Amino acid sequence: MGTQTTGADGVEGPFGTIDLDATDPTTLLVSGEVDLSVTQDVLQELPRWAQVEQVDLRGTTFLDSSGMRLLVQVARLVAPRRLQVLGASGQPLAALELFGAGHVVDLVPAAPPEQRRTGT
**37-46: average pLDDT:** 87
Q: What is the pLDDT of residues 53-85, one digit of tens each?
A: 999 999 999 999 999 999 999 999 999 999 999
Question: What pLDDT, on a 0 to 100 scale, did the predictor assign at position 1?
Answer: 25
Question: What pLDDT, on a 0 to 100 scale, did the predictor assign at position 116?
Answer: 46
Residue spans of the domains in the chain: they are 16-109
Q: Measuring CA to CA, which residue among 59, 36, 58, 42 is closest to residue 5?
A: 42
CATH number, span 16-109: 3.30.750.24
**26-32: average pLDDT:** 96
Contacts of 46 (CB under 8 A, 6+ apart): 73, 74, 77
* pTM for the model: 0.80
Contacts of 89 (CB under 8 A, 6+ apart): 58, 109, 110
Residue % of the chain over a pLDDT of 70 = 81
Q: What is the pLDDT of residues 80-107, one digit of tens each?
A: 999 999 999 999 999 999 999 999 999 9
| SS3 category, 14 | coil
Cβ neighbours of 31 (radius 10 Å): 18
